[in-house]
Amino acid sequence: MVLQLSRSVLMLWPHFRRFINDQAGNIAVITALALIPIIIGSGAAVDYGRAYMVKSRLSHALDQAGLAVGSSNPSSDLNDVLGKYFSANYPAEKLGVPANPEMTINNGVIELSAAANVETAFLKLIGINSINVTASSKIIRETRGIEIVLALDNTGSMANN
């Protein structure tokens, strides 16, 4: 049995050796294998670019809403002001990524935060279905005294008035 096995291996050896040394068509295999990480990398760039765009718009909307809350009357419904300004600057129906802002006020410091979940298009291929995006903003409300300026014009042009 061993003798028969060794004879068949010896008979196949020249074919196997020719197969190993043959280099025709290798470029197709190498290209196919190289395309896999290239496509995943390109898809990751697209998905992370979309996530960065959502983060940028989320930060902008939080800043606008925070400034509106900071300049509003403290006795008014600040959550309503926050909701209106945030939804005006971050339209979820246009972006397709809903987010709900949260607000805390401590000693004149308004802290806002929001989180959104961006669905991926290409990274689903490797098991990443979504990217979590968060943004935060801090507004310090200061009430300083009113500055009044009094200008007296005692030049000759005001002599008869």
Query: Mind listing the pLDDT tens digit of every residue in the chain (161 residues)?
Result: 545 556 776 777 787 777 777 767 676 777 788 888 888 899 899 999 999 999 999 999 999 998 888 888 777 788 888 888 898 888 877 777 888 889 888 888 889 999 999 888 888 888 989 999 999 999 887 767 778 888 887 777 766 65
Q: Which residue(s) pair with 109 in the sheet? A: 106, 140
DSSP state of 11: H
CA-closest candidate to residue 78, choices 115, 104, 58: 104
Predicted confidence at residue 51, as pLDDT, reads 92
